[in-house]
Amino acid sequence: MLSPPDRKYAPWRFVYLVLIWAFELAVLPVTVIILALLVVFYSPPTTTTYIDSAGHIQTLTPGVPLWVTLNLVVLAIDLILTCMEIVLLNMRDLSPQIYLWFSIVKTVTILGPIGLNAYTFSTIWSLNKYNNIFNGVVVGFNAFLFVIFAISLVHAIVMVRRYRRQAEDYLERHVSDHFTMHQPLNSTQYR
């Protein structure tokens, strides 16, 4: 029968994990809901044509821009990963390496929507002031999430290093005890 791990030797700092997850779970669903509402309700009624500053004709077609859908997909994936981390920790299956990989995936995936959101400020879509307000809110949420994911990544790196150091100390202590208790036999003792 396995006994629960001793909290003294656990690599986790539960206060930090709970704070990180609290911020993630406070912002991720709100952002997903805002983007889902935009996907459902936003569609320009007609095709709109504009002339940009270079004199080129650009057309805004009805529908939701691709960056909104990409934002929604990436944030939904990040929300699922955050929930998986919590479930794995609760089931005692979350290792520091898994947490590190989840943190890397979340930090890297949020960079795409941030870049696309920044790019949309220079497109025809930004000519509507409401679009700019919405885009600013989404950029703010995504930037905040990036900071939280970066903090989570730093925390994961620290935990992996602590976990490795504890494992090395454990092996040194127990392996050295094992070899001092059982001295190797000389080949002459068998004769």
* pLDDT value, residue 3: 43
Q: Tokens standing for 189?
A: 């003792």
- Phi, psi (rounded to 5 degrees) for 88: -65, -40
Average pLDDT over residues 156-184: 75
* pLDDT value, residue 184: 55
* pLDDT value, residue 105: 96
* pLDDT value, residue 65: 72
Closest among 39, 118, 25 to 79, alpha carbons compared: 25
* pLDDT value, residue 1: 38
pLDDT tens profile 11-62: 667 788 889 999 999 999 998 888 888 777 665 556 667 676 677 777 766 6
The residues spanned by each domain of the chain are 14-43+62-177
pLDDT tens profile 68-105: 788 889 999 999 999 999 999 888 888 889 999 999 99
Residue 128 has pLDDT above 60, yes or no: yes
Q: Which residue has the higher pLDDT, 108 or 138?
A: 108
d(CA 72, CA 51): 30
Q: Which residue has the higher pLDDT, 184 or 146?
A: 146
Are 140 and 185 within 8 A, CB to CB?
no
Helices (H), 49-128: 66-90, 96-120
pLDDT tens profile 3-14: 445 555 556 677
Closest among 155, 66, 140, 154 to 110, alpha carbons compared: 140
Q: Tokens standing for 138?
A: 């989404």
Average pLDDT over residues 174-180: 64
Q: Tokens standing for 142?
A: 């995504």
* pLDDT value, residue 149: 96
* pLDDT value, residue 101: 95
The amino acid that residue 90 corresponds to is N
- Residue 170: CB atoms within 10 A of its CB come to 11
